Structure 1
């Protein structure tokens, strides 16, 4: 069955499990943008535990915007900060050097819209995983869509219902296993085994 999902910034493991189990993925680009979601943030595993990487956007609650119209702010050098954080967190991971060169150019492009950044992240991640995910984008917003698995809730930060098979993480001996981080955590630690890992997991 097809699934409906929000395009997020370096999607977490749950997003990829949902996408890879679907016949086709429908990307939700309409609907009002919401703050404090994974649409503009990703969680990685740093030396001190879970670390959130947030993309700053030009958005105020007073002036509601559709997700597809939200613009990225470059008032601060968040791109360099994110890249530095990834290097600090994963430079000792088994497959860091295998993937980092494909990611670096992404942090040198100033995308105007958050949606365009997220779609480019998805493209790069598909290449890294060596998978093809059939995709389409929504043309309108539906509260209760029919004949499709609605996984839009996975973009909410409070979604913590999923528990997955532990894999070795860089700092797992120090802080234990952290589940459902950005797919980057899985890639850097598991490399080519990432696809099989995703296929064998079940969404909660």
Structure 2
């Protein structure tokens, strides 16, 4: 596992996540054996709505999550979160330059049910890499390790409650910036829907 980029499997990951991928050029290993941590980007994505920053949270089934490995976390469908998330994305980005261009790529994630959070996030990552035209192999960890030296380990670096240098990038155009100014640290879809094929150059 040397010379790998170790990343958590995030839900619609933030821009900084893909900046790390773009800069490193290393093959990606997704951490599937970590104990599931609450209140992270594993279940949360931030987008830019007409009222400002909006968090979209994927609910997971209740249980002793502190001792549940990430690969064993199940998505909950007690609420109709898929419809809510898709409506929120449509409302936030229908006036953006590229939402309609990518709409059909993302719609299946809100129409089909996926049992496992890890699988759901991994499939989204594969799609996003393809849309950004970033070529990387994506694998999964085979066991849990405390460290991966000399590999690059970003499992704990990108977090919604922590400042990370990659979350303070140069501003780019956002649909509602005239109302609330530039908001950093949003999901990669904010950049993608606003800038389309130019998104990779920004990264």
TM-score range (shorter-chain normalised) is over 0.9
Runs of 4+ in 1 over 3 A off after TM superposition: 59-63
CA distance in 1, matches of 2:65, 2:171: 42
Whether the 8 Å contact between 1:42 and 1:53 is mirrored in structure 2 is yes
After TM superposition, list the pairs within 5 Å mapping 1:1-204 onto structure 2: 1-22=3-24, 23-61=26-64, 64-162=67-165, 163-198=168-203
The Cα shift of 1:140 comes to 1.0
Secondary structure at 1:124 match in 2: helix
In the superposition, the TM-score normalised over structure 2's length comes to 0.93
State the TM-score, normalized to the length of structure 1: 0.92
Gap regions ≥5 residues in structure 2: none
Number of aligned residues: 198
Shift of 1:155: 4.3
Going from structure 1 to structure 2, the CA distance change for 1:186 and 1:12 (only over 3 Å counts) comes to same
Which string of whole-angstrom CA distances, capped at 9 and with x for unpartnered residues, describes residues 156-182 of structure 1? Answer: 221223310100100111101011210
1:2 CA drift (Å) = 2.6
Deviation, structure 1 residue 144: 2.0
Partners of 2:75 and 2:161 in 1: how far apart? Answer: 23
